[in-house]
């Protein structure tokens, strides 16, 4: 049996109006719409949504970690292209995932809108008339009270209180003998908030989806790497990578800047990170300056932009002189940490060496706290802080391949057209030449190729900058959905009816019943509470 989402007070309203077959396209559309908004299809779509969301957790996602997708291609060269065609690496942007959630929301809207109309009508309506017989209600009672009906009615109305919407009425009955008898009745209903909450929850979900989609269109996000002492300027050029929504306009970048004054890190004795703090001086768009910090979990807010600290490392400050003794390169070079003790790999490219004729390139490792074996080889780093920093580099000479116009990864040295510089060991044998230096040291390259100097060891921070005006709205809709959910699950919806018949001698025979929607463990207690308020019972019959 298929039903629409059980609208409170309208469970069978649609099914109650039978319609014949509708031939023609309009009939088909109506049939499809009816199917789509049925509870069975909605349930199916919900379960389908759970199923189609899962592949994204089993396969690497480009939106989460593009590098792992590349790795997957390398590991599974035959299956990866097929998975690509199915959209497995972009599950949450794939047509099939989108189809499921869009259909689900369509189904939801198609159900919520009529329900909202019905509920708005119900909010204005009076409580239902008292049913003729109470025998079919499991929660009911009959008793006699020593008070006249009118007084009992007033007491009952007061006991129901303002939480109930109350309606007092009079039933007139004509008996066979032609006499007319009058019976006072009370109908009451409470808990409209249950359906209001339910509707609010579903409408807030629609709102959440809408503002998320809007945020996708207007947001921008960029990554920047900033070295101690350097400044970041919020312009397209300031970013290392940048992506934005379709409605983003580049001139909407707010003109602010900040300087990374210093970076502090705290580690435990066993090299576990405990705190990272980037101290910055921010120049706001209005020109004022202030000191602030960026920490993990505590982003920096500048205007509408949030700046997140996502990584950090060392950027050894190096100077390279070429064969002529000219300074061909000087400045800090970020080395990317590869483990928790900050063993960091990096590349130095010197395209300007020797007038660009024979360029210099270096690749190697920075060890913040170098550990040496007894043979004099470096084993690695023992601690993330720079207690005894050593830089170990291989030196190359030749063509860096930067002039092809093909974009190059700044952290990979293309050595195809370069030759490794070699030196001689103590015994006079030829072996690869290695630059090994500590801060302040200078190393001469073999064959008079020049020299390299390790000036200092500043740190760098990797930052994510993001503007997404939809986030506060998401918070609002999430809060509304949560409030609505609580109302729809925990507010009891109850109806109470009572018939107050004159029992003679100033007494009243009260028959009452209560009905709840859904699960209501205290319904009987509620009815008894109301009846207890009517005063001592002279006769009771359940």
Partner 1 sequence: MNDQMGDLSTALVYAAMAAYMVAMVAFAVDVSALGTGTGRDRPRRAAGIAVATTWLGAGLHLVGIVTRGLAAGRAPWANMYEFTLMFTFFAVAIFLGIQTSRDVRYVGVLVTLLALLGLGLAVSVLFVRADGVQPALNSYWLLIHVSVATLSTGVLSISAMFSVLQLLKARHARVPQRSDPVAVGAGGASAELVDDRAEVLDDRAEVLDDRARVPAERAARDVGASPEQETFVGRLMASLPSSENLERLAYRLNAIGFVTWTFTLVAGAIWAEHAWGRPWGWDPKETWTFVVWVIYAAYLHARVTAGWAAERFAYFALVGFVAVLANFYVVNVFFSGKHSYAGI
| Residues in region 13-32 near partner 1 by CB under 8 A | 13, 16
Report the chain's terminal Cα–Cα distance, integer Å. Answer: 36
Q: Is 45 helix (H, G, I), strand (E, B) or coil?
A: helix
Please tell me what DSSP assigns to residue 388. Answer: B
Q: In this complex, which beta carbon is closest to partner 1, that of residue 242 or of residue 378?
A: 242
Taking the C-alpha atoms of residue 190 and residue 163, their distance in angstroms, rounded to an integer, is 6
Identify the residue among 12, 75, 154, 447 touching partner 1 (CB under 8 A).
Answer: 12
Determine how β-strand 344-350 pairs with β-strand 336-337: antiparallel
| DSSP label of 251 | G
Contacts of 362 (CB under 8 A, 6+ apart): 320, 347, 348, 350, 393, 394, 395, 396, 413, 435, 452
The secondary structure of 59-116 as a DSSP string is S--HHHHHHHHHHHHHH-TTTHHHHHHHTGGGGGGSHHHHHHHHHHHHHHHHHHHHHH
How many residues of this chain interact with partner 1, rule: CB under 8 A?
72
User: Whose Cβ is closer to partner 1: residue 105's or residue 378's?
Assistant: 105
Cα atoms in the Cβ-side hemisphere of radius 13 Å centred on 451? 12
- In this complex, which beta carbon is closest to partner 1, that of residue 348 or of residue 515? 515
CA 438 to chain CA centroid, nearest Å = 45
Q: In sequence order, which residues have a C-beta less than 8 Å from that of residue 42 and are 6 or more positions away?
A: 5, 104, 107, 108, 111
Task: Decide if residue 9 touches partner 1 (CB under 8 A).
Answer: yes
User: Is there a contact between 4 and 17 (Cβ–Cβ < 8 Å)?
Assistant: no
Binding to partner 1 (CB under 8 A) within 491-520 occurs at 515-519
Q: Which is nearer to partner 1, 111 or 391 (CB)?
A: 111
CA-based nearest residue to 501, from 492, 490, 512, 489: 512
Residue 214 or 378: the one with the smaller Cβ distance to partner 1 is 214
- Give yes or no for residue 276 binding partner 1 (CB under 8 A): yes
**Using CB under 8 A, which of 273, 371, 382, 436 touches partner 1?**
273
Buried b (16+ CB within 10 A) or exposed e, 280-308: bebbeeeeeeeeeebeeeebbebeebbbb
When the beta carbons of 221 and 499 are compared against partner 1, the nearer one is 221
User: 144 or 183: whose CB is closer to partner 1?
Assistant: 183
* Contact pattern from residue 70 through residue 109 relative to partner 1, giving x for each residue in contact according to CB under 8 A and a dash for the rest: ---------------------xx-----------------
- Least distance in angstroms from the C-beta of 417 to partner 1: 36
Please choose, from the candidates 80, 5, 87, 81, the residue with its C-alpha nearest in 3D space to the C-alpha of residue 52.
87
Tell me the Ramachandran region of residue 356: left when phi exceeds 0, alpha when psi lies from -120 to 50, beta otherwise.
Answer: left
Could you tell me if 370 and 378 are in contact, meaning their C-beta atoms sit under 8 angstroms apart? yes
| DSSP annotation of 236 | G
Region 304-333 residues binding partner 1, contact defined as CB under 8 A? 306, 308, 310
Q: Which stretch binds partner 1 (CB under 8 A): 47-55, 365-373, 421-429, 529-537?
A: 47-55
Q: Which of residues 364-393 bind partner 1 (CB under 8 A)?
A: none
Specify the residue, 54 or 86, whose C-beta has the smaller distance to partner 1: 54
> Binder to partner 1 among 489, 522, 525, 540 (CB under 8 A)?
489
Residue 49 interacts with partner 1 (CB under 8 A)?
A: yes
Identified binder of partner 1 from the candidate list 29, 47, 70, 123, rule CB under 8 A = 47
Site string for partner 1, 242-261 (x = CB under 8 A): --------------------
Smallest gap from residue 387 Cβ to partner 1 (A): 21
Q: How far is CA 450 from CA 244, 322, 398, 444, in A?
A: 44, 4, 14, 6
475, 522, 539, 541: which one contacts partner 1 (CB under 8 A)?
Answer: 475
The single residue among 28, 96, 411, 482 that binds partner 1, judged by CB under 8 A, is 482
Q: Pick the closer one to partner 1 by CB: 116 or 151.
A: 116
User: Is the CB of 159 or the CB of 478 nearer to partner 1?
Assistant: 478
Task: Give the H/E segment covering residue 345.
Answer: strand 344-350
SS3 call for 243: strand
Q: Which is nearer to partner 1, 148 or 311 (CB)?
A: 311
- What radius of gyration, in Å, describes the C-alpha atoms of the chain? 38
**Residue 476 binds partner 1 (CB under 8 A):** no
The angle, 0 to 180 degrees and rounded to 10, between the axes of the packed helices 192-218 and 95-124 is: 140
* Beta carbon nearer to partner 1, 224 or 391: 224
Question: In this chain, which stretch among 26-34, 237-245, 394-402, 476-484 interacts with partner 1, using CB under 8 A?
Answer: 476-484
Among the candidate windows 23-31, 59-67, 352-360, 445-453, which touches partner 1 by CB under 8 A?
59-67
| Interacting span for partner 1 (CB under 8 A) from 77-85, 362-370, 472-480, 531-539 | 472-480
DSSP H helices in 357-503: 471-490
DSSP label of 384: S
Rule CB under 8 A: choose which of 36, 83, 218, 485 binds partner 1.
485
Where do the DSSP E strands lie in 399-493?
Answer: 418-420, 422-424, 430-432, 434-437, 442-445, 450-456, 459-467
Instruction: Tally the residues of the chain.
Output: 542
In this complex, which beta carbon is closest to partner 1, that of residue 414 or of residue 468?
468
**Options 6-14, 253-261, 320-328, 350-358: segment touching partner 1 (CB under 8 A):** 6-14
User: Considering the complex, what minimum distance in angstroms separates the CB of residue 162 from partner 1?
Assistant: 23
Q: Which of 443, 471, 476, 491 binds partner 1 (CB under 8 A)?
A: 471
Q: Which of residues 166-205 bind partner 1 (CB under 8 A)?
A: none
The site string for partner 1 over 113-142 (x = CB under 8 A, - otherwise) reads ---------------xx-xxx--xxx----
């Amino acid at each position: 049996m298929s039903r629409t989402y059980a609208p409170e007070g309208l469970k069978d309203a649609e099914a109650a109006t039978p319609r014949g077959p509708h031939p023609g396209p309009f009939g088909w559309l109506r049939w499809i719409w009816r199917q789509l908004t049925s509870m069975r299809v909605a349930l199916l779509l919900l379960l389908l949504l759970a199923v189609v969301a899962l592949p994204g957790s089993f396969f690497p996602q480009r939106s989460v970690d593009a590098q792992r997708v590349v790795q997957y291609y390398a590991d599974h060269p035959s299956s990866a292209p097929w998975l690509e065609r199915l959209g497995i690496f972009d599950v949450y942007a794939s047509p099939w995932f989108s189809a499921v959630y869009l259909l689900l929301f369509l189904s939801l809207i198609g159900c919520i809108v009529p329900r909202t109309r019905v509920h708005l009508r119900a909010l204005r309506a009076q409580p239902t008339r008292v049913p003729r017989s109470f025998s079919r209600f499991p929660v009911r009672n009959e008793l006699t009270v020593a008070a006249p009906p009118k007084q009992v009615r007033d007491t009952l109305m007061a006991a129901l209180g303002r939480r109930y919407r109350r309606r007092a009425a009079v039933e007139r009955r004509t008996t066979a003998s032609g006499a007319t008898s009058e019976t006072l009745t009370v109908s009451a209903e409470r808990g409209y908030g249950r359906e209001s909450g339910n509707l609010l929850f579903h409408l807030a979900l629609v709102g959440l989806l809408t503002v998320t989609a809007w945020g996708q269109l207007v947001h921008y996000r960029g990554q920047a790497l900033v070295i101690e002492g350097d400044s970041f300027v919020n312009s397209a050029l300031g970013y290392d990578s940048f992506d934005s929504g379709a409605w983003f306009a580049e001139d909407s970048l707010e003109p602010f800047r900040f300087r990374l004054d210093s970076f502090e890190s705290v580690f435990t004795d066993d090299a576990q990170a405990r705190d990272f703090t980037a101290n910055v001086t921010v120049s706001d768009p209005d020109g004022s300056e202030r000191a602030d910090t960026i920490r993990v979990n505590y982003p920096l807010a500048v205007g509408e932009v949030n700046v997140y600290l996502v990584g950090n490392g060392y950027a050894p400050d190096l100077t390279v002189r070429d064969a002529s003794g000219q300074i061909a390169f000087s400045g800090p070079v970020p080395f990317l940490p590869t483990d928790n003790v900050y063993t960091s790999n990096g590349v130095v490219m010197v395209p300007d060496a020797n007038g660009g004729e024979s360029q210099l390139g270096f690749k190697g490792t920075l060890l913040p706290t170098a550990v040496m074996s007894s043979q004099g080889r470096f084993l690695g780093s023992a601690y993330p802080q720079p207690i005894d920093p050593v830089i170990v580099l291989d030196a190359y000479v030749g063509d860096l391949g930067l002039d092809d116009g093909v974009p190059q990864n700044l952290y990979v040295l293309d050595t195809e057209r370069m030759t490794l510089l070699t030196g001689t060991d103590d015994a006079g044998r030829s072996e690869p030449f290695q630059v090994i230096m500590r801060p302040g040291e200078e190393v001469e390259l073999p064959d008079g190729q020049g020299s390299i100097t390790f000036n200092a060891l500043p740190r760098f921070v990797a930052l994510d900058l993001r503007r997404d005006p939809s986030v506060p709205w998401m918070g609002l809709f999430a809060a509304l959905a949560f409030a609505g959910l609580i109302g729809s699950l925990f507010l009891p919806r109850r109806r109470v009816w009572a018939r107050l018949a004159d029992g003679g001698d100033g007494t009243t025979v009260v028959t009452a019943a209560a009905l709840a929607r859904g699960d209501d463990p205290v319904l009987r207690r509620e009815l008894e509470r109301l009846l207890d308020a009517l005063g001592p019972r002279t006769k009771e019959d359940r």
